[in-house]
Structure 1
Amino acid sequence: MFADRIFTNAAVFQPAGAEPADTVAIQGDTIVAVGRGVDRDLIGTHTDITDLGGTSLLPGFVDAHAHPVAAGMAALRCDLSGLAHDRQAYLTAIAEYAARHPGESVIAGAGWYGDAFPDGFPTRHDIDAVVSDRPVILTSHDYHGAWVNTRALELAGITSATADPTGGRIIRDHTGEPTGVLLDRGGDAVNALIPEVTPQFMRQALLEAQRRLHSVGVTGWQDAAVGAEFFGLKDNFATYVDADEAGELTARVVGALWWEAEQGAEQLDGLCARRSLSGHSRFTASMVKVMQDGICENCTAAMLAPYRAVAGHDIPSGQSFIDPEDLHKVTALLAGERFGIHMHAVGDRAVRECLDALEHAIASHPQFNARHQIAHLDVVDPQDIPRFGQLGVIANIQALWARRDKEIVERKLPLLGPEREPWHFPFASIQRHGGTLAMGSDWPVTDPNPLWAIHTAVHRTGTHADPHAIGDGVFDTPLQAQEGISLRSAIDAYTAGSAYANSQDRAGRISEGMRADLVILDQDIFTAEDVGTLRAVETIVGGKTVYRG
């Protein structure tokens, strides 16, 4: 048996307790040897031997929570995500896009940040100044808000007399007129104006996103909203199945099928049918995504105590999207059909409600190795931190958020108040109490580069490589430094932890018999001053190179 490729003189990242190694051999899609020095018995006529010169060889990163099709769609539209947080930069980009696409009846796009505007939100008048003849609909970077022009409001029929919809909010000025920002389901009416996208466009978006993820070392991911239709997003299930059947999906992907909160048990048969239609090669729809609240910045995250300084809010403690009693029924139904459950919970009340519901599901189906998980965990009450380890519920974290960005400091922390700030993204506390960490990006909410997130998970500060790390102290004042985790733990969370969350037990570690899903970095990650400045130079899935840069 000869190896196809041998990597040597590498800083090989291995599981804790494993013998140090500097050489890895792969044959086909499998790692066949890990050790020190090259075993001559593995060298054949066609064996490729690569000296890595001391740079890191890691398991491929697995993104445990992302929305790649949405990110790809944004990249193909009016994409503001790569710009500086600046009002004029956004308006210039919108005007230039409109000029380049005169035939588009609706200009759609995404990626703006609220901290580019004086009061945290833009207005319709901003866009009107550059495009007024056709509707413009731009989703915020966090996908919880839509920024639109006056024409879009007119065509959607949104006026001062329009009531806030369930699960959404229309931002209004002092006279009651809509300002041009629509939160959560408040954006449904304007997003209905966006023409239906074609299957070809969706497929192109997926492949563009896959290319980007491979370029930062990602070999697999979990799409956390397969089938969701909101904020201009379309059902992407067929996109994945078709790409998989065509052999275009080079990553390993788990789909979390979208649970419609407005429906009930009647949707279960459809979810089971979709699961049975997946699993051809690289895509398996084995999870279900349940959304329990919104985000703190918009006061839609469900909190145990009221937000501070939120005069005029109808729901001062946020909103639970599903009644807790009903949530118990939902999780028990899904576990009964052997679905893993992926829950969105930002506020501490939502986290508790999700833990309670999962505890009920686990008790009802104790033999099911479900890999249930709760994503985001912006605020976790101290009483609930030990429950992740006790219940075996995975903490699906988005570490890039755990820093003092301007938007967090100015918009979020004042709403939480000093008494809740210590429990803001409590990664170390969850780990210390036996909880398993899996890491994801929530891309396109934030950038998909795992190395940026790993830096922040360790230091609780921003990396200088990230243009979105903006604000006084973002690089040198940690956000609750005691919740930083070790570099080894952070790498584990983005590799073995996320692979575990995806039920991919042959991925996430460099050991004999594991799949050859690997990433080569340009430096040794353990000697770098700023991990975020490192880059992937080669990404390998199943022994095949999918990116080289």
Structure 2
Amino acid sequence: MTHAETLITGAQLWTPTPLAHPADIAIRSGRVMAVGAAGELSGLVDRRTTQIDACGAAVLPGFHDAHVHPLAGGVALLGCDLSDVHSLDGYRRRIAEYAARSDEPCIAGSGWFGDAFTGGLPDRHLLDALVPDRPAVFSSHDAHGVWVNSRALALAGIDRDSPDPPAGRIVRDARGEPTGVLLDSAAEPVAALLPEHSPQKLVRAMRAAQTHLLSLGITSWHDAIVGEYLTLPDCLPTYLRETATGSLRARVTGSLWWRPDWEAGDLPELLETRAHARAAGVALDSVKIMQDGICENHTAAMNDPYVGSGVQDSGESVIEPGALNEIVAAIDAQGMSVHFHGVGDRAVRECLDAVAAARRRNGPGRRHQIAHLDVVDPADVPRFAELGVMANIQPLWARADREIIERKLPLLGPERARRHFPFGSLADADAALAMGSDWPVTSADPLWGLHTACTRTAPSADPHADNPESRVPMLPEERLPVDVAVRAYTLGSAEASGTDGEVGRLAEGHCADLVVLSGPIEGPDSFDRLRVVRTMVGGEVVHPV
């Protein structure tokens, strides 16, 4: 009789639905060999079997991050990373210390939050004091803003006479002078100031990112931008190197970046890249289209104008809707899916309309998805299920932290604030859900995301949610049931990536990718006290190592 190489016993097993009884899971040759009630699989054990007693702890399919930027996260880990501090004094100390020990011609970093600054955004004068002799370029945590010093503005040729580019904005003071904050495409000129990352550094960054993600129980991920974007280099060469050397342990898919100035006729360039990547073992069967920006920068595309602060506009659609319809139909006809960035309710509607147009032209096709979904018009909620469009949600954002209270909700106004991250409404309307973190925009920790998805409050350890309001459920009617949330962060995300035939389940024949937690899941509040104690990919322990 064939024996199990590994047998995990006494687990609270989620497959991803929770079993009603303690269970055992047998693993052989990198795959699930069998699942049974406690004690049922003892006949598969011999002296060569490694046995692990889960002691009643939760064992789940490996988490699958459906929207993440690992290379950007790894570069942040290796550089001047501001993501684990949340104060002006903390930013000052971190930047000053980094600049003092660095001989780089340009000081670069990332991870700042706008609400740490008076008025909601930083300015160049603070960076001038900290880095007076070199350009300094710091991306915001959400990757939609860049904070630079005066030297960087001068070298990039940005001054009071510089026009705002399409899909971008130069923030200006009362006199019309650039403040040092560049939003979305307005940051492209300063990207040329950044020192080029060597291939060796990018490999180190990817490995640092992988180690971090595996430690959080993430065994698969979908890279949401494969291509050059603002200050970020193209991650594809690094994926190709790591795949060739066997260093990439996680299972990876990705979306090829669609430049906002492209037309449908530019698709063959991406098809060539896709074919080259596929031949090397990297699956890129999706295209990333960013249809708007973010609410905090007034660049999310809204049906109605923003309110307050003298703002009269309703944001900008990155791609004109008629052109978007043509682009999406062309991508769909090639058997590729579209991974939309849709934050505002108008952008979400335009993305849904583009999928509807593709369905009319091409018939049933690939399952497309819209990520973020900060605001969705109630009339559009049922269209997700009707069109087969997945809701790719970032659950950790759905809490009342200071940035949301001070910078975002006042711009939306009370009516739209009641539609803020309508996860429960989407689930009730039978929309298929996938979950991702958007790391390094926010923490990659799936347990933090699950906590917020199920409670609409912030995790107790999150440094970016230290205000009392973040502990009170924000729109509690939009909470997700625990089993729905777990499915979204496992099998749902695998469905979004097209890999659900291999991963996302703990069932016979599927890859033995799993995570063991420190205890059982006993309700929505469990996630705030649980941690990952073991991560396995293909039956091999990859955390801890």
Q: Does the CA-based 8 Å contact 1:7-1:52 persist in structure 2?
A: yes
Q: Which residue of 1 aligns with 2:32?
A: 31
| Structure 1 residue 21, shift from structure 2 partner | 4.3
| Structure 1 residue 533, shift from structure 2 partner | 2.9
Q: Which residue of 1 aligns with 2:268?
A: 269
Range 442-451 or range 520-529, more displaced: 520-529
Q: Which residue of 1 aligns with 2:519?
A: 523
Code of the aligned partner of 2:301: A
Tell me if 1:357 matches 2:354. Answer: yes
Change (3 A) 1:332 1:406: same
Tell me if 1:165 matches 2:165. Answer: yes
Tell me if 1:501 matches 2:502. Answer: no
| Structure 1 residue 282, shift from structure 2 partner | 6.2
Secondary structure of the structure 2 residue equivalent to 1:241:
helix
- Distance in 1 between residues matched to 2:97 and 2:198, nearest whole Å: 24
Q: Does the CA-based 8 Å contact 1:12-1:21 persist in structure 2?
A: yes
Q: Which residue of 2 aligns with 1:455?
A: 451
Q: Deviations over 1:473-498 (max 9, x none)?
A: 101x2111101011111111100100
Q: Which residue of 2 aligns with 1:400?
A: 396
Alignment partner of 2:487 out of 469, 487, 492: 492
Q: Does the CA-based 8 Å contact 2:16-2:486 persist in structure 1?
A: no
Change (3 A) 1:18 1:392: farther
Q: Does the CA-based 8 Å contact 2:68-2:438 persist in structure 1?
A: yes
Q: Which residue of 2 aligns with 1:335?
A: 332
TM-score, length basis structure 2: 0.97
| Structure 1 residue 184, shift from structure 2 partner | 0.8
TM-score, length basis structure 1: 0.96
Q: Which residue of 2 aligns with 1:483?
A: 478
- Distance in 1 between residues matched to 2:434 and 2:275, nearest whole Å: 26
- Distance in 2 between residues matched to 1:491 and 1:260, nearest whole Å: 33
Q: Deviations over 1:151-209 (max 9, x none)?
A: 11121121112121221111111111111111111111122111221222222111111
| Structure 1 residue 40, shift from structure 2 partner | 2.7
How many residue pairs are counted as aligned between the two chains?
542
Q: Which residue of 2 aligns with 1:91?
A: 92
Q: Does the CA-based 8 Å contact 1:135-1:148 persist in structure 2?
A: yes
Q: Does the CA-based 8 Å contact 1:465-1:533 persist in structure 2?
A: no
Q: Which residue of 2 aligns with 1:22?
A: 23
| Structure 1 residue 45, shift from structure 2 partner | 2.4
- Distance in 2 between residues matched to 1:462 and 1:533, nearest whole Å: 13
Q: Does the CA-based 8 Å contact 1:80-1:93 persist in structure 2?
A: yes
Q: Which residue of 1 aligns with 2:71?
A: 69
- Distance in 1 between residues matched to 2:460 and 2:379, nearest whole Å: 35
Tell me if 1:467 matches 2:469. Answer: no
Alignment partner of 1:511 out of 507, 510, 515: 507
Q: Does the CA-based 8 Å contact 1:320-1:350 persist in structure 2?
A: yes
Range 280-289 or range 303-312, more displaced: 280-289
- Distance in 2 between residues matched to 1:312 and 1:3, nearest whole Å: 64
Secondary structure of the structure 1 residue equivalent to 2:181:
strand
- Distance in 2 between residues matched to 1:531 and 1:266, nearest whole Å: 47
- Distance in 1 between residues matched to 2:514 and 2:461, nearest whole Å: 23
| Structure 1 residue 267, shift from structure 2 partner | 2.6
- Distance in 2 between residues matched to 1:483 and 1:79, nearest whole Å: 33
Q: Deviations over 1:245-264 (max 9, x none)?
A: 11111011111000112022
- Distance in 2 between residues matched to 1:312 and 1:142, nearest whole Å: 21
Range 267-276 or range 393-402, more displaced: 267-276
Range 207-216 or range 508-517, more displaced: 508-517
Q: Does the CA-based 8 Å contact 1:54-1:524 persist in structure 2?
A: yes
| Structure 1 residue 241, shift from structure 2 partner | 1.5
Q: Which residue of 2 aligns with 1:290?
A: 289
Q: Does the CA-based 8 Å contact 1:390-1:434 persist in structure 2?
A: no
| Structure 1 residue 283, shift from structure 2 partner | 3.0
| Structure 1 residue 444, shift from structure 2 partner | 0.6
Q: Which residue of 1 aligns with 2:119?
A: 119
Q: Does the CA-based 8 Å contact 1:56-1:524 persist in structure 2?
A: yes
Q: Which residue of 2 aligns with 1:81?
A: 83
Q: Does the CA-based 8 Å contact 1:518-1:539 persist in structure 2?
A: yes
Secondary structure of the structure 1 residue equivalent to 2:535:
strand
Code of the aligned partner of 1:439: M
- Distance in 1 between residues matched to 2:198 and 2:363, nearest whole Å: 43
Secondary structure of the structure 1 residue equivalent to 2:169:
strand
- Distance in 1 between residues matched to 2:436 and 2:219, nearest whole Å: 13
Tell me if 1:541 matches 2:537. Answer: yes
Q: Does the CA-based 8 Å contact 1:252-1:282 persist in structure 2?
A: no
Segments of structure 2 that go 5 or more residues without pairing to the other structure are none
Range 445-454 or range 534-543, more displaced: 534-543
Code of the aligned partner of 1:443: W
Q: Which residue of 2 aligns with 1:446?
A: 442
Range 477-486 or range 465-474, more displaced: 465-474
- Distance in 2 between residues matched to 1:80 and 1:334, nearest whole Å: 37
Tell me if 1:45 matches 2:47. Answer: yes
| Structure 1 residue 472, shift from structure 2 partner | 3.0
Secondary structure of the structure 1 residue equivalent to 2:118:
coil
| Structure 1 residue 6, shift from structure 2 partner | 0.4
- Distance in 2 between residues matched to 1:204 and 1:364, nearest whole Å: 45
Code of the aligned partner of 2:149: N
Q: Does the CA-based 8 Å contact 1:253-1:282 persist in structure 2?
A: no
Q: Which residue of 1 aligns with 2:429?
A: 433
| Structure 1 residue 35, shift from structure 2 partner | 1.1
Secondary structure of the structure 1 residue equivalent to 2:130:
coil
Measured on the aligned residues, the alpha-carbon RMSD in Å equals: 1.5
Code of the aligned partner of 2:435: M
| Structure 1 residue 116, shift from structure 2 partner | 0.8
Tell me if 1:381 matches 2:382. Answer: no
Range 89-98 or range 18-27, more displaced: 18-27
| Structure 1 residue 15, shift from structure 2 partner | 4.3
Code of the aligned partner of 1:331: V
Q: Which residue of 2 aligns with 1:308?
A: 307
- Distance in 2 between residues matched to 1:225 and 1:75, nearest whole Å: 19
